[in-house]
């Protein structure tokens, strides 16, 4: 995805929308997958994001979108609450425009936050922009005293006016210092303006030309003026043109669900009637939307298709030759239009979907409109309805995608609800790979409960959706089983099934398995592997697959499963914490008694006692990412107190406890995702950490068979 020209969605948050009370911030990358059981509320996380800025349709519907238990409250509010907010990274050119408009530094306007309320109104903010609103009392006192002492030592010109100026300046400086004696440690706008007013009592225009006092005092006045201007400067979000520019560049959202699948035979009078109606159910509404898009693609109105196919009315007797000719010409025009549209769809669909060489034909017959499909394996034309439901889904989704993310909506963000449910597992795998290719041009978020649509190499993309204890929709990046919440455990079952499938693939496809403790380890090692391959530092002869064991207790069963394939024991990479060291001893005295060199600890590659997987990265690098998990108003930042010679995870947890901050569920996985994003950026963050890259290289050389 070209982040230099389009706004990139970083995270979003849903509030008070249907079953969702507050989702918390949901981090996304080029692809995000929301997994969960039926009725967990996955759709209710996609719909509000669609309604933030829909490519087509997507109207706010209070009757169904308000939470039922709060419907009466919301209906009576003069100002309706926000239901969706999202943060975007801005492209470079837009950052420059916003910085020019607002006068803010570019680094403060690289991120924009957009909110929408149930009245359809937008609010725009810049969360990285924190304009100065106070000045340190110590800084101002030091400046006043230094100026006072300096002027006291300056000789005057000997002229009476210069002597009077000196006395007046020293007097106002004393008053200015008295003004802030009882002030707080941080001086606000009112206090600084009071000081400025006192200093302005001195009229420097009346100073003698050779006075050395006037320029020294004038510099102080300028410094105080600069301070006042700095703390009274507009926040970027207070500039209307900046807000309008963000809304103008907001990416469109394209939403699609299975409800919109096309039928093969379409009765045109019903289509025309339903397009005009506003009281359809969700299923019929979705189907009508797809039909509208289909006819938009054909570039013809369904009413015109119907009209072109009608026989010429005959008043009495037989039709005249002219009437027969007119009817024939209309039908010929209709046939040419539909043939042209079918050819166009065939060409575009073939370039988009590689599962088969499909050919589409549109046909109109009286009141009926039909879609016929053939391919190389089945050259005879068959109605769409009699082809696979998977093909019906792909065609219907493609039409929505084709039309709603056209040139005017380039870079649209795609929201897919339970895509490919009817596909064969192999086709679902192909669909998952297709999503990866599609994400080069369009960000994509989809819901699923199929393990075949969960990529085990990218579990950082996966969020678990489940029903909480209070009956509201919850979402988490924590993919471990929830001991206190069986619903969370059920929601992540597709992840465990996907991991099982990856183990199976490892056995069947001859990959080299490396057993690690959990998803975070998998994320970190996968991104290190890709980084080293990209730099040409390693060239693995076989695909290296990192298989999470669900914690140290799960290592032995996974080893037994993987070792059964070829007899060679797989490498095991463990943390050097207490549990990791215990597992090393257990494996070395049992399964790995003759192959202890294949059990590796993180501490061997980072000289820190009790090192964990996170410690394979520079402490300061990781600490900057962890800083985002703490409030900004803490007296000290985590980066200021973290120690390089200690494991970073316990330090992060301790800092949170001491600061009375509750880290979000699954925070270690979130950190891993952020690390991945940083490491794969165009600007290499590891350029100044050669020793770490060297250690990574040696580790991966050791892991290769």
Tens digit of each residue's pLDDT (9 = 90 or more) over 563-587: 654 567 889 999 999 999 999 998 8
Asked if the model's pLDDT at residue 228 lies above 60, the reply is yes
- Rounded Cα distance, 596 and 263, in Å: 61
pLDDT of residue 147: 92
Full-model pTM: 0.65
Using 50, 70 and 90 to split pLDDT, how confident is the model at 23? very high
- Rounded Cα distance, 56 and 450, in Å: 28
pLDDT of residue 489: 66
Does 433 reside within a domain? no
Tell me, what CATH number does 189's domain have? 1.20.1440
pLDDT of residue 251: 94
Helix/strand/coil for 366: coil
Does 555 reside within a domain? yes
Q: How many CA atoms lie within 13 A of 341 on its CB side?
A: 23
Residues 476 and 617 grouped into a single domain: no
Domain count, the chain: 4
Beta strand 122-125 with 20-22 is: unpaired
Residues 494 and 519 grouped into a single domain: no
Asked if the model's pLDDT at residue 62 lies above 50, the reply is yes
Q: In percent, how much of the chain has pLDDT > 90?
A: 31
Asked if the model's pLDDT at residue 323 lies above 90, the reply is no
Strand partners, 255: 415
Does 630 reside within a domain? yes
Residues 104 and 205 grouped into a single domain: no
Residues 246 and 302 grouped into a single domain: no
SS3 string, 241-287, reads HHHHHHHHHCCCEEEEEHHHCCCCEEEHHHHHHHHHCCCCCHHHHHH
Tell me, what CATH number does 68's domain have? 3.40.50
Q: In percent, how much of the chain has pLDDT > 70?
A: 91
Does 431 reside within a domain? no
Q: Is 411 left (phi over 0), alpha (psi -120 to 50) or beta?
A: left
Paired tokens of 118: 């149930």
Tens digit of each residue's pLDDT (9 = 90 or more) over 583-603: 999 888 888 888 889 999 999
pLDDT of residue 396: 83
Residues 360 and 212 grouped into a single domain: no
Answer for the pair 415, 254: CB distance below 8 angstroms, yes or no: yes
pLDDT of residue 571: 92
pLDDT of residue 2: 47
Does 496 reside within a domain? yes
Residues 608 and 649 grouped into a single domain: yes
Q: Which domain holds residue 624?
A: 510-705
pLDDT of residue 243: 94
Beta strand 253-257 with 413-417 is: parallel
Paired tokens of 221: 């006045």
Asked if the model's pLDDT at residue 381 lies above 80, the reply is yes
Q: Taking residues 330-343, what's their average pLDDT?
A: 86
Does 438 reside within a domain? no
Answer for the pair 30, 1: CB distance below 8 angstroms, yes or no: yes
pLDDT of residue 543: 81
Residues 327 and 352 grouped into a single domain: yes
Tens digit of each residue's pLDDT (9 = 90 or more) over 168-200: 989 999 999 988 888 888 888 888 888 989 999
Residues 112 and 145 grouped into a single domain: no
Does 203 reside within a domain? yes
Distances (CA, A) of 466 to 36, 53, 109, 486, 490: 6, 26, 35, 9, 8
Asked if the model's pLDDT at residue 4 lies above 80, the reply is no
Does 565 reside within a domain? yes
Mean pLDDT for the chain overall: 84
Residues 241 and 96 grouped into a single domain: yes
Q: Taking residues 604-610, what's their average pLDDT?
A: 89
Q: List the strands of the sheet with 544-548, edge to edge.
A: 544-548, 512-516, 571-574, 599-601
28-37, 111-120, 279-288: which has the minimum mean pLDDT? 279-288
pLDDT of residue 355: 65
Residues 661 and 536 grouped into a single domain: yes
Residues 204 and 271 grouped into a single domain: no
Paired tokens of 648: 């970073």
Asked if the model's pLDDT at residue 3 lies above 80, the reply is no
- Rounded Cα distance, 391 and 21, in Å: 36
- Rounded Cα distance, 520 and 511, in Å: 21
pLDDT of residue 316: 65
pLDDT of residue 384: 83
Tens digit of each residue's pLDDT (9 = 90 or more) over 488-525: 667 776 666 666 666 566 555 667 888 998 888 888 99
Tens digit of each residue's pLDDT (9 = 90 or more) over 452-474: 888 776 777 888 888 887 888 88
Residues 600 and 704 grouped into a single domain: yes
């Amino acid at each position: 995805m070209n982040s230099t020209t389009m706004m990139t969605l970083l995270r979003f948050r849903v509030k008070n929308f249907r079953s969702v009370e507050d989702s918390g911030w949901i981090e996304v990358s080029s692809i995000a997958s929301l997994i969960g059981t039926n009725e967990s509320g996955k759709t209710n996380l996609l719909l509000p994001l669609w309604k933030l800025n829909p490519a087509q349709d997507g109207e706010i519907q209070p009757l169904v979108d308000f939470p039922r238990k709060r419907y009466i409250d919301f209906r009576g509010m003069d100002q309706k609450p926000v239901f969706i907010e999202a943060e975007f990274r801005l492209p470079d050119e837009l950052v420059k425009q916003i910085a020019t408009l607002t006068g803010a530094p570019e680094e403060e306007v690289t991120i924009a936050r957009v909110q929408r309320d149930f009245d359809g109104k937008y609010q725009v903010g810049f969360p990285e922009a924190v304009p100065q609103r106070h000045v340190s009392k110590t800084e101002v006192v030091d400046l006043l005293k230094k100026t006072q002492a300096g002027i006291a030592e300056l000789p005057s010109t000997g002229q009476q006016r210069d002597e009077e100026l000196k006395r007046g300046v020293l007097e106002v400086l004393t008053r200015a210092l008295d003004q802030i004696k009882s002030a707080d440690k941080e001086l606000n706008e009112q206090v600084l303006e009071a000081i400025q007013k006192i200093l302005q009592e001195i009229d420097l225009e009346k100073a003698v030309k050779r006075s050395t006092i006037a320029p020294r005092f004038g510099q102080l006045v300028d410094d105080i003026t600069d301070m006042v201007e700095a703390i009274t400067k507009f926040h970027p979000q207070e500039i209307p043109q900046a807000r309008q520019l963000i809304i103008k560049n907001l990416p469109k959202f394209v939403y699609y669900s299975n409800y919109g699948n096309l039928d093969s035979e379409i009765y045109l009078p019903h289509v025309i009637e339903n397009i005009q109606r506003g009281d359809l159910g969700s299923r019929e509404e979705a189907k009508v939307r797809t039909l509208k898009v289909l006819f938009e693609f054909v570039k013809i109105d369904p009413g015109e298709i119907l009209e072109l196919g009608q026989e010429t009315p005959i008043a009495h007797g037989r039709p005249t030759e002219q009437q027969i000719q007119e009817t024939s010409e209309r039908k010929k025009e209709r046939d040419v239009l539909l043939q042209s549209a079918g050819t166009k769809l065939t060409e575009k669909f073939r370039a988009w979907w590689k599962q088969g060489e499909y050919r589409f034909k549109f046909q109109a017959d009286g009141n009926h409109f039909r879609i016929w499909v053939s391919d190389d394996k089945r050259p005879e034309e068959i109605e769409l309805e009699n082809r696979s439901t998977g093909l019906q889904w792909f065609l219907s989704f493609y039409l929505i995608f084709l039309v709603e993310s056209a040139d005017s909506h380039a870079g649209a963000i795609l929201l897919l609800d339970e895509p490919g449910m009817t596909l064969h597992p192999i086709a679902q795998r192909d669909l998952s790979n297709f999503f990866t290719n599609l994400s080069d041009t369009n960000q994509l978020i989809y819901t699923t409960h199929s393990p075949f649509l969960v990529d085990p190499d990218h579990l950082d993309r996966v969020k678990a959706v489940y029903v909480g204890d209070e009956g509201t929709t919850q979402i988490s990046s924590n993919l471990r089983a929830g001991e206190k919440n069986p619903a969370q455990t059920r929601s992540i079952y597709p992840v465990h099934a996907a991991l099982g499938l990856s183990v199976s693939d490892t056995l069947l496809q001859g990959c080299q398995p490396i057993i690690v403790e959990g998803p975070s380890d998998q994320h970190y090692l996968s991104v290190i592997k890709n980084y080293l391959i990209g730099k040409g530092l390693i060239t693995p002869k076989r695909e290296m697959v990192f298989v999470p064991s669900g914690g140290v207790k799960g290592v032995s069963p996974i080893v037994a499963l993987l070792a059964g394939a070829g007899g060679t024991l797989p490498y095991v990479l463990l943390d050097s914490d207490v549990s990791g060291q215990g597992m090393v001893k257990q494996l070395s005295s049992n399964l790995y008694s003759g192959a202890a060199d294949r059990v590796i600890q993180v501490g061997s590659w980072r000289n820190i006692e009790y090192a964990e997987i996170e410690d394979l990265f520079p402490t300061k690098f990781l600490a900057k990412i962890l800083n985002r998990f703490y409030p900004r108003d803490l007296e000290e930042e985590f980066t200021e107190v973290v120690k390089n010679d200690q494991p970073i995870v316990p330090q992060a947890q301790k800092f949170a406890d001491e600061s009375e901050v509750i880290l979000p569920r699954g925070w270690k996985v979130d950190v891993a995702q952020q690390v991945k994003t940083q490491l794969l950026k165009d600007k290499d963050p590891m350029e100044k950490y050669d020793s770490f890259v060297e250690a990574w290289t040696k580790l991966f050389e050791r892991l290769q068979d």
